[in-house]
Structure 1
Amino acid sequence: MPDDARHSRFDLVVALFMALAAVGTAWAGFESAKWSGVQANSYASAGADRAEASRAQTLASQQRTIDVVSFTAWLNALNAEIVADPSVRPHGSYTPNANAVSGFLFERFRPEFKPAVRAWLDTHPLVNPDAPATPFDLPQYRLAADQRSQQLVERAEKLATRARTANQRSDNYVLTAVVFATVLFFSGMATKASGRRVQLFFTTLAGIALVGCIITLALFPVQI
C-alpha cells in the first residue's frame, strides 16, 4: 500500500477516534451534571421531609400530652364521683353523663383519642384487674401526626438513598470523561509519533480505551 494511502487511512482512523472521544466526553459531562442535579434535588427534598417530620412529631407529642392530661382529669373526676356515689361505678360500657364533670370531660376528648378510651372501657378496667392500665397501651390509640412523621422519615431515607446513588452515577460519568481524555491524548500522540510501530501502539491504546468507554456508557443509566 502506498505511503500516502496508508497515512490517509491512519489519519482518518485517528480523526474518528478523536471525534468519538470528543462526543463521548461531552455526553459524559452532560450526564454527570444531570445526575448531580438529581443528587442535589433529592437531598433538598429529603431535608424538607425531615423538617416536616420533625414538625409532625412535635405535634404528635403535644397531642399525646393533651390526651394524657385530659384522661387524668377525667379519671380523677370519675373517681371523685364514684367515691361520692358508688352506684355510678361503670361495670360495663361507660355512658358519659352530661350533667357530671366526668361526662363533660369525656365529651371533650380529642376525636382521635375517643376510640382508644372506648376500647379501654370495654375491657371493664375499673373492675377487671387484667385490663390494660391505660388506653395508651391499646392499638386503637393512634396519632395521625405520628404516622405522618414516620412516613416522612421513610420517604426522606429513600430520597437520601437516591441522592447517594445519583452521586455515584455522576462520579462514574466523570471517570468515563477522564478515560475519554486519555483517548484524545493517545490519538494526539499517535499523530505526533514518527515511527510506524509507535503510531500503531498509541492508536491501539486509543482504540481499546475508546471501545471500553463506549461499552461503559451504553451500560450506564441515562438521566434526561
Structure 2
Amino acid sequence: MTETEARERVRWQRVTEILGVFLLSVVAVLTAWCGFQASKWGGEMSIAFSQASSARIQAAGADGAARSARAFDLTIYAAYVEAVGNGNAQLADYIRERFTPEFAVAYEAWVEDGQVESGPFARAEYVPDGTVEAEELNARADERFAQALENNQRGDNYSLLTVLFALVLFLTAMSQRQLAPWIGRVLLGLALVVAVLGVVILMTFPIRI
C-alpha cells in the first residue's frame, strides 16, 4: 500500500467515524423521542377507552330510565283505555291529564292523524325521557372507542419506528468495527438510508406533548 493510499484510507476512516458518531447521536435522540411518543399515545388510548366505558355506563343508565318511562306510560295508557272501554269518561279524563308530556304529544298526534298506527307508542313523536340522552351517550362511546383504537395504532407505529431506528444503531455500530473499508462504508451507507427513511416516516406521524 502506497503512502497516498494509506492517507486516503485514514481520511475515509476518520470521516466514517465522525459520521458514525453523529448518526448514533441523532438516532439515539430519535429513538428516545419515538419511545416517548409511544408512551404518550398509549396514555391517550387508555383515557379514550376509559371515557368510552364511562359513556357506555351512562348510556345504559339513560336507556334504563327511558324503559322505565315507557313502562309507566304504558301502564297509564292501559288504565286510560280500560276507563274509556267502561264508559267512565270522568276517570278517563282524570287519567289523561296525568299523561307524561312525552306521551301526551304522541297521543295527540296519533288522534289527529286518525289513529292509523296500532297505538301512540308507534308514533315518531313518542320519545321517552332518557332516549335522546342514551343515543347521544352511545354515540360518544362509539366515538371515544374508535379514537382509542386510533391512538393505539399511533402508539404501535411509534414503537415500530423505534425498531427501525434500533436497526440504524446496529448497522452504524457494525460499520465502526475492524472490517474491510468497503464493508464499513456499505453498512454506514445502509444505516444512513434507513435513518433518512425513518425520519421521513416520523414526519408524517402526529405528535402528542
1:44 to 29, 43, 50: 50
SS at match of 1:81: coil
Aligned to 1:172: 157
Deviation at 1:9, TM superposition (A): 1.7
Distance 1:9 1:124, change over 3 A: closer
Deviation at 1:4, TM superposition (A): 4.0
Deviation at 1:124, TM superposition (A): 4.6
Matched, 1:217 2:202: yes
AA matched with 1:80: N
Provide, for residues 142-193 of structure 1, a one-character-per-residue CA deviation record: whole Å limited to 9, x for no partner: 1241121122111111111111111111111001001111111111111113
Residue correspondences, number: 203
SS at match of 1:115: helix
SS at match of 2:87: helix
Matched, 1:163 2:148: yes
Aligned to 2:70: 64
SS at match of 2:176: helix
Moved more, 109-118 or 1-10: 1-10
TM-score, structure 2 as length reference: 0.91
2:172 to 181, 187, 190: 187
Matches of 1:4 and 1:196, distance apart in 2: 10
* Contact 2:65–2:129 (Cα < 8 Å) also in 1: no
AA matched with 1:217: L
SS at match of 2:102: coil
AA matched with 1:205: L
Provide, for residues 83-142 of structure 1, a one-character-per-residue CA deviation record: whole Å limited to 9, x for no partner: xxxxx6xxxxxxxxxxx11111111111211111111222354xxxxx322111111111
Relative to total residues, which structure has the larger helix share, 1 or 2?
2
Which structure 2 residues correspond to residues 47-196 of structure 1 after superposition, within 5 A? 47-81=53-87, 100-125=90-115, 131-196=116-181
Matches of 2:169 and 2:38, distance apart in 1: 19
Gaps of 5+ in 2: none
Cα-Cα RMSD:
1.6
Matched, 1:208 2:193: yes
AA matched with 1:33: S
Aligned to 1:93: none
Matches of 2:68 and 2:129, distance apart in 1: 12
AA matched with 1:103: D
Provide, for residues 43-102 of structure 1, a one-character-per-residue CA deviation record: whole Å limited to 9, x for no partner: 1111111111111111111110111110010111122126xxxxx6xxxxxxxxxxx111
- Over the matched positions of the two proteins, sequence identity in percent amounts to 28
TM-score, structure 1 as length reference: 0.85
